Amino acid sequence: MEYRYAYFAGGCFWCITPIYKMYGAEEVVCGYAGGDEENPRYEDVKAQKTGHRETVMVKYDPEEVSYGTLLDIYFANVDPFDSEGQYIDKGFSYTLAIFYTCEEERALAEAKIKAVEEEQGKKCAVALLPYKNFYRAEEYHQDYYLKEPEAFERELLESGRKKKAYIFDLDGTLLDTLEDLAAAVNYALKKGGYPERSLAEVRSFVGDGMRLLMKRSLPEGVSEEVLDSAFKDFRDYYSVHYMDRTRPYPGIEEMLKGLKEKGRVLCVISNKADFAVKLLMDRFFPGVFSLVLGEREGIRRKPAPDSLLAVMDELGLEKRECIYIGDSDTDIQTAENAGIDHISVSWGFRTEEFLKARGAGKIVTSPEEILP
């Protein structure tokens, strides 16, 4: 067996170590790379005096895990567009770099960086550099997550790498409400003498509140009076039939249970009317969420950040402690407007291709992928 060595600077080396261990690395060593000073000390590296970056040396068996897989792991666990450091850790020693040891590694890393840039439409802040040196860090840094598990957990939470609060969109993210929404839309349309809409059409209309859903479903150019009447019919029908076919998506309940067991704070925000949101929460997720906010007076609808900011304010949360999970371009814009990290889900009302085209960062295809 011939082991190989890979070198990645991904911010705090404490935080990167267990990730590579989890994915089959034989050994992961914390150290300092790329600077000119020999045998640098942690205090000097952290003070930006040596030109080194905090780096992990990954010892691996290429028969078991490829260099391409190591690159995938790296990009899945850093913010590749942050040029100032990672999460709460700022300064040159926390900036991103891949140190290649051969032409094959350089080509693979270059291709990965290009793919990420093309997918996201912006330039990566990952330096691609030839391997120059690596100095093993002080012993207390090695396997810190095993030596000081409680302190390590605090580091993950305080740095923002691991989130304290998970804030969810409702329709298309937690609950499949499409059939009940479509039934209410078509009841109102039929009552008004208008042609009904297909399930696919209603899917494309949802995401910006009930009234806008009804407006999009009506023929273009109808009066506000017609919209008011149709929206009243929609609400009257939906208030009785909102749970006829609505169900949690597969895996949602297990994912929420897993987050609760890990001590995470769970919240919901929605453009759906506040009364409907609370009724659905009481029916499907009683006692699960710390705070639930639907559309209400004085709070602008998403993509305005008001509801997200209201959750953070009421629960005393910092932006770095929160992550927002949703299924639409509206949800992406909401998170960006609030300045917090976000995850897009592919099982809801928008396709993965649609989400990518609207600037989605991390996209998950199953609820279990949300678990930390």
The DSSP H or E segment spanning 156 is helix 149-159
CA angle 256–329–157, rounded 5-degree value: 40
Rounded-to-integer distance, Cα 234 and Cα 232, Å: 5
Q: Coil, strand or helix: which one is 171?
A: strand
Q: Distance of alpha carbon 7 from its chain centroid, rounded?
A: 26
Burial of 133 (0-12, 13-18, 19+ CB in 10 A): middle
Rounded-to-integer distance, Cα 124 and Cα 96, Å: 10
Among 87, 104, 103, CA closest to 95 = 87
267 is catalytic: no
One-letter identity of residue 308: L
| Phi–psi pair at 305, nearest 5 degrees | -80, 5
Where do we find the tokens 């409680």? 150
- From the candidates 12, 15, 267, 322, which is the catalytic residue? 12
Residue 77 near residue 18 (C-beta atoms within 8 A): no
Start-to-end C-alpha separation, the chain? 33
One-letter identity of residue 172: G
One-letter identity of residue 234: F
Rounded-to-integer distance, Cα 110 and Cα 98, Å: 10
Among 247, 243, 183, CA closest to 213 = 183
Strand segments, DSSP code E, in the chain are 4-10, 27-33, 53-60, 85-86, 89-90, 96-100, 127-130, 134-136, 165-168, 175-176, 247-248, 265-273, 291-295, 322-326, 341-345, 362-364
**Residues labelled as active-site residues:** 12
